Amino acid sequence: MISIEEALEILLRNIPAPKTERIPFYKSLGRVLAEDIVATSDIPPFNRATMDGFAVRSADVQNAPVELILGGEARAGGGIHERLRPGEAIYIMTGAPVPDGADAVQIVEVCPVSPCESKVTVMEPVAPGDNIAPKGREAMSGDVIIKAGRVAGPAEIALMATFGYAEARVYAKPSVAILSTGDELVEFDETPRADQIRNSNAYCLAAQLKLLGIEADYLGIARDEKEDLRGKILAGLERDVLIITGGVSMGEYDFVRDVFEELGVEILFSKVAIKPGKPTVFARKGNRLVFGLPGNPLSSMITFECFARPVLGRMCGIKRPELKRVQGVLLEDVRQTPGRTAFLPARIEWTSNGWSVRPISWKNSADMIGFSGANATLIFPGELAMLSRGETVEIMLLPDFFAR
């Protein structure tokens, strides 16, 4: 049995190089950019008015109020106005190019126009540059606007549109298959016998993957027969990652290890000092990765977040895909048998003193009903037997924390 830290080291050493692909930029929401986005023009592309008003030479209005000849108007999208002459003002709208010769814009509220609309009185002086966004203030052509590695959100998509990017190079999502094992399982729409249960793990894992932005193929339930298991594992090995739930312990009918050996799948670790989830397996065949997660629902869920998420997230280009961890104050005593680091269901809330942590009562690693009220897990160090009320403890937020 290895520690969680040792398991993570093995996992990170065995992540294949991420793949990239080009997709329409407007479909890149939530994807990790695999190349820099570079400005293809200056922004603004011209000296731009930031207020409705009058473009003037600041020297002409130093001794305001002064009357200037109204020389026309400049509006956004109306072309570039001819050069402003001394003693002249041009009515200008927000976003319009500032004419050559003008070095300031005075706001319309302090510039009454004569009844014949041929002159304007500028009531207050302006300084050079007032109410003008100079060409290239936001970006110069060739500037790196978005660095590779950032997740594309609405703002990033807007910037790609601004600079004319038809496509974005992003990290490709790995193909993933989920396989459940065990004669005791039936599908959710079947009626189980007295010795059977409905399969929930596959659908829980599919939901966890979806929160990572990955759609998985479900291969169904492999029965406790070597040939059925072998065929389904072979199908799973056609994907980048195969996640098997159940069949990884040392029971008489747990054939996964035997099939791995027959298919040349190398097991890199098979027991981790984690509770729940000790019989977690990580294996590979070439660049194909395999996770064997325990069959108990909470064991499967927790080990996915602790071990599969860091790998799959990095394959998607995410730099730090691990779930966020914070510290909080424990509201009641908690005990456990030392030996393995435990991830216990908890409910945390923000208070004026920081996070408060209340453990949730649960029966065992199959008790999804008890766990469903959690929004985090309390991380209980394996060398300790007790955590006392009032202690500061470490918490791992669940992936849907903000929806809970």
Question: What is the amino acid identity at position 151?
Answer: V
What pLDDT is recorded for position 389? Answer: 96
311/362 same-domain check: no
- Whether residues 24 and 162 fall in one domain: yes
Do 164 and 28 lie in one domain? The reply is: yes
Whats the size of the chain, residue-wise?
404
CA 333 – CA 361 distance, rounded (Å):
12
The pLDDT of residue 252 is: 45
Residues 103 and 221 reside in one and the same domain: no
Digitized pLDDT (tens) for each residue of the chain, 404 residues in all: 999 999 999 999 999 999 999 999 999 999 999 999 999 999 999 999 999 999 999 999 999 999 999 988 898 887 777 789 999 999 999 999 999 999 999 999 999 999 888 999 999 999 999 999 999 999 999 999 999 999 999 999 999 999 999 999 999 999 999 999 888 888 988 888 988 888 999 999 999 999 999 999 999 999 888 889 999 999 999 999 999 998 766 554 467 778 888 999 999 999 999 999 999 999 999 999 999 999 889 999 999 999 999 999 999 999 999 999 999 999 999 999 999 999 999 999 999 989 999 999 877 777 788 888 899 999 999 999 999 999 999 999 999 887 76
Q: Are residues 152 and 186 in the same domain?
A: no
3-state secondary structure (DSSP) of residue 177: strand
CATH of the domain at 191: 3.40.980.10
- Do 272 and 396 fall within a single domain? no
Question: Can you tell me the distance from the alpha carbon of 286 to that of 314, in angstroms, rounded to the nearest whole number?
Answer: 18
Question: How far apart are the C-alpha atoms of 67 and 228, rounded to whole Å?
Answer: 92
pLDDT for the residue 322: 96
The span from the CA of 304 to the CA of 322, in Å, is: 11
Q: First and final CA of the chain: distance in angstroms?
A: 34
SS (H, E, C) 229-286: HHHHHHHHCCCCEEEEECCCCCCCCCCHHHHHHHHCCEEEECCECEECCCCCEEEEEC
Whether 211 maps to a domain, the answer reads yes
Pair 61, 85 in one domain: yes
| Domain boundary, last residue among 270, 297, 315 | 315
- Does 31 fall in a domain? yes
Quick check: is 320 in a domain?
no
Tell me, yes or no, whether 304 and 163 share the same domain: no
Q: What is the CATH number of the domain that holds 380?
A: 2.40.340.10
Instruction: Give the domain-ending residue among 315, 334, 358.
Output: 315
Question: Is 266 among the domain residues?
Answer: yes
For residue 128, the domain's CATH number is: 2.170.190.11
pLDDT score, position 402: 78
| Main-chain phi, psi angles of 260, to 5 degrees | -55, -45
Q: What is the pLDDT of residue 253?
A: 43
Whether 194 is covered by a domain: the verdict is yes
Domain check: are 235 and 285 in the same one?
Answer: yes
pTM: 0.86
Range of the domain at 336: 325-403
Number of domains making up the chain: 4
Same domain for 220 and 265?
Answer: yes
Kindly tell me the burial class for residue 236, based on how many C-beta atoms sit within 10 Å of its own C-beta (0-12, 13-18, 19 or more).
buried
Q: Degrees (nearest 5) of the Cα angle 395, 310, 203?
A: 85
> Are 301 and 237 within one domain?
yes
Q: Residue 26 sits in a domain of what CATH number? A: 3.90.105.10
Query: Among residues 133, 156, 184, which one ends one of the domains?
Result: 133
pLDDT given at position 247: 73
Question: Are residues 340 and 368 located together in one domain of the fold?
Answer: yes
